[in-house]
Amino acid sequence: MLVEVDPKGAVATLQKLIPHCPVFLYPRDDWDVSGGGQDLAALADALARLGDDSGLDIYAKWLARQKFDEIHDGMPRILAPLGRYPDRPSIREVSAKLFQNGCAGWLNAAVNGEDLLQTRLIRNEAFRDLVLQSLKNGEKCGGVVVKKGGQFEATESGETFGGVAQSDLLAPKAGEQISFRVCDDMAWRLSRIKNLPHFELYWPQTDRDAAIVAITEFLKEHGNHLELKPQSWFAGAPDDG
């Protein structure tokens, strides 16, 4: 609120406030790490928007000590600075540590009910490397069928979701079951990225393979400058700023 009312005066206040965030003051058993982490991320982000990046370094140092399970409930907001300031040295360092620890949870379809692939985190090189690795994973993970009327329904890990396949010449006949792979799932979930090559789960495998090659090249070419479509494009997209 202070940032909105008095941006210039807010700088000194934020500089003093950040080191006193509850995550630094209370034992883990006495404080919600995820909740406090979201507060710290928001404060550091607010200060950075006003031209002072020092809060990001404090935030990154704190985040480097956390484990996936400890911050899971605060995603994606607790990770927002990683996507907003991917080139900051301290952010690059903590990102490399977080996303190279072998935890598979980062790429789950729903982390705390929200998909990290639908956030600015895709602009973070270390996170994007995880995505690029998954775009090579040919393991089968689900199935999709196009129904009469142009709707399609997909099932993965017991979860069902769907969409529209009308006027798509690559769509299979109604009722035909198509299996899809981890790489297909990754490519489809990246579709909030602006200008990303088009991709559909129900396409023939040869067409999916060609699209994944194009998507991989697009991600590598645009890197930290990837842009997202407005949140209104996807009702389930998190409010990641």
Each residue's pLDDT tens digit, 155-206: 887 778 888 876 788 988 888 999 999 999 999 999 999 999 999 999 999 9
CA distance 68 to 73: 9
Identify the residue whose tokens are 């010449």.
169
pTM of the entire structure? 0.87
Q: Which residue has the tokens 């940032």?
A: 3
pLDDT of residue 36: 84
Q: Which residues of the chain have pLDDT under 50?
A: 233-239, 241
Q: Which residues of 24-45 are buried (b: 16+ CB within 10 A; e: fewer)?
A: eeeeeeeeebbebbbbbbbbbb
Q: Which of 154, 233, 165, 169 is nearest to 196 (CA)?
A: 233
pLDDT given at position 23 = 81
What is the per-residue pLDDT for 102? Answer: 63
Determine the pLDDT at residue 233.
44
Q: Angle of helix 7-17 relative to helix 54-63, nearest 10 degrees?
A: 30
Among residues 238, 241, 239, 183, the alpha carbon closest in space to that of 215 is found at: 183
